[in-house]
Amino acid sequence: SVQALHKTMQIGLDGARRDAAHFINGEFTQGTTGKSWENRSPLDNSLIGRVPEGGRAEIDAAVTAAQAALDGPWGALTVGQRTDLLAAVADEITNRFDDFLAAECLDTGKPYGLASHIDIPRGAANFKMFADTVKNISTETFLLEQGGGRSALNYGLRRPKGVIAVISPWNLPLLLMTWKVGPALACGNTVVVKPSEETPLTATLLGEVMNKVGVPRGVYNVVHGLGPQSAGEFLTQHPGVNGITFTGETRTGEAIMRQAALGVRQVSFELGGKNPALVFADCDLDAAVEGTLRSAFSNCGQVCLGTERIYVERTIFDAFVARLKAGAEALKLGRPEDPATNLGPLVSQDHRDKVLSYYRLALEEGATLVTGGRVPDMPGELANGAWIAPTIWTGLKDDARVVNEEIFGPCCHIRPFDTEEEAVRLANSTPYGLAAAVWTQNLSRAHRVAARMEVGICWVNSWFLRDLRTAFGGAKQSGIGREGGLHSLEFYTELSNVCIQL
Ligand code: NAD
């Protein structure tokens, strides 16, 4: 229960309630604005604690601390010393696994089974992997032959970019925040994090880890707040910030890009999606159904890489729809600590209102409801939570809003196709371009179709299978730049060329 989760946590400040705090220059503080908001559990709407809203003063203090750390002890560390500290951060996250698990599940209501396999281990791995990466990289060298026996030696030098603003979303809070903080610190930068207002706890808890393992003060800072006219906007406008990395909605990305234009700061964006799955008649149907159940409904559909549009070859359409329906109806909604739970609630009542508005719109647009489409009956105090039923539709036109707009809930639309050409055209018919899943046993078709997907990430016969060394990001309106492995270095370092006349 939420009460039990409260007890297992030891976060930042004292008290039975779990209040969040800013973490600035190595210290927890409530800041000076006097403004705060209630953090409520999506399980039952009970109060978790309060979250202070940072203003310009908190952002200024955090950026100043981050600059001082660059010029001070952090900037003086060798790569080996720095990466040892990051490995210690990873180990300490693992030592405090239960605290991180409790914090993440309090904020999001997601099942322990999910967070203990994905969110928390990946939070630790993001520090270890990027620490290993930066220890083992070289830069380019070129010898320029000028004739007449003269030549010049060119070589690249990578320096940290400086103070990085990290703006992160609520769906995988620790995982997506550390996906940015890990490489930023490994490359020698310092960070100011503005976590999502929905999920303040794990970013706060990470402050304790930084202090425990001896990361110098000012290297990792957290300021809570909202987006517009609040900490998010103030941070991304701050002239002391040298680069902005953001994961969230495409429309928010547009606003941040305008803010980043002041002072021509670079951005790295991982944005929204409306991801397709293409299911061909020659697929392994068991694998395709199992994979699509995960891609449509995991984390209650709140995964940027999740599938909301499914295109199925007509000869297996009815069988596929029937099996996905049976799978969706077998999913168990419940409390995080119940091992039988497959799905938690949506992250908030507000988000449920948004998802329910699409559930209504689907029917207005003429959808056939295969399953779900409603608020489920939940027992006891859970009736006050942000629960929603997994939902499948068929029969919508290609230009329906439900087929084109990101809903970010446990729902998908399934449409038949007749030819490979048609499937490819339908998959690409969106301004988004984050991910696609292709299900086929035909090797040639797999390569052929994957190459034509206008996305950053294409899975064949799998979904969410992630090798952290590979490029991650979105095409079209789903992002700018790539993160992951060596690709993260492009954003988190400044590459200079040194040319020596020999
Ligand atoms: P969001 O865009 O509403 O908010 C993300 C963050 O931006 C929050 O911390 C918010 O406070 C902040 N913010 C909002 N307005 C701002 C402004 N004007 N200036 C500065 N900061 C501002 O996104 P969300 O609802 O938290 O997350 C869900 C979205 O994120 C979905 O669209 C999803 O597809 C996307 N997402 C993408 C990826 C990816 O890797 N491509 C991963 C996860 C989520």
pLDDT of residue 137: 87
How many angstroms separate the CA atoms of 427 and 451, rounded? 12
Q: Which helix (H) or strand (E) holds 183?
A: helix 173-186
pLDDT of residue 10: 45
Q: Is 405 a catalytic residue?
A: no
Quick one: CA dihedral 79, 85, 91, 93, positive or negative? negative
Quick one: CA dihedral 386, 387, 390, 395, positive or negative? negative
Which ipTM did the prediction report?
0.96
| Ligand 1 and 169: CB distance under 6 A | yes
CA nearest to 235, candidates 222, 247, 248: 222
| Ligand 1 and 123: CB distance under 6 A | no
The answer to whether the CB of 107 falls within 8 A of the CB of 220 is no
Number of C-beta neighbours around residue 50 at 10 A: 18
pLDDT of residue 419: 98
| Ligand 1 and 331: CB distance under 6 A | no
Please classify residue 229 by burial: count the beta carbons closer than 10 Å to its beta carbon, then call 0-12 exposed, 13-18 middle and 19+ buried: exposed
Q: Tell which one of 53, 126, 167, 254 to mutate to probe ligand 1, the residue whose CB is within 8 A of the most ligand atoms.
A: 167
Q: Is residue 312 classed as helix, strand or coil in its secondary structure?
A: strand
| Ligand 1 and 483: CB distance under 6 A | no
Strand order in the sheet with 190-194: 27-29, 22-24, 220-222, 190-194, 163-167, 243-247, 266-270, 479-480
From the centroid of its chain, how far is CA 268?
A: 13
DSSP 8-state class, residue 376: P
Low-confidence ranges of the chain (pLDDT < 50): 1-2, 8-16
How many angstroms separate the CA atoms of 196 and 227, rounded? 9
The residue from 92, 270, 406, 483 that is catalytic is 270
pLDDT of residue 4: 52
pLDDT of residue 461: 98
Q: Which helix (H) or strand (E) holds 260?
A: helix 250-261
pLDDT of residue 116: 95
The torsion angles phi and psi of 484, rounded to 5 degrees, stand at 115, 135
Cα of 141 vs centre of ligand 1, distance in Å, is 39
